[in-house]
Amino acid sequence: MLVIRFQRTGRENLPSYRLVVAEKSAPVKGRVLEVIGHYLPARKQPVFEFKQERITHWVKQGAIPSDTVARLLKHAGVPAMESYIRRYAKRKPKGAEEVQAAAAPAPAAAEAAPPVEKAEEK
């Protein structure tokens, strides 16, 4: 399976990335089929340049962009990247289930039970 992903280059604390098409099982810094762009996030204005016609060609051939690549391509205006973006599940804070259950009693039980007065604090 083919994948469109970033290949990190650059020195320590100054990342730059190549946008490459590679086999999914190939090492990240291994053999690539084609370099189709680059991304320089460390600049004041991040630079993201790519060959859109080559991206559409590889997607038609079955290449799947990584989540990060799909998000950046969508932001850059490449059509049909939404289907490759994974949604992140929001985590509920600890004890949220208990608070929600206590805050929302069953409607039938709430109507039948008389209101309970709170005891005054000392």
Domain boundaries, the chain: 2-84
Domain 2-84 has CATH 3.30.1320.10: yes
Torsion sign (Cα): 56, 48, 34, 28: negative
Q: What is the pLDDT of residues 67-98, one digit of tens each?
A: 999 999 999 999 889 899 988 887 777 776 66
* Spatial distance between the Cα atoms of 20 and 77, rounded to a whole number of angstroms: 19
Q: What is the pLDDT of residues 25-56, one digit of tens each?
A: 999 899 999 999 999 999 999 999 999 999 99
Q: pTM, whole model, 2 decimals? A: 0.69
Q: Give the CA distances from residue 81 to residues 55, 65, 77, 78, in Å, rounded to whole numbers and listed in that order.
A: 11, 8, 9, 7
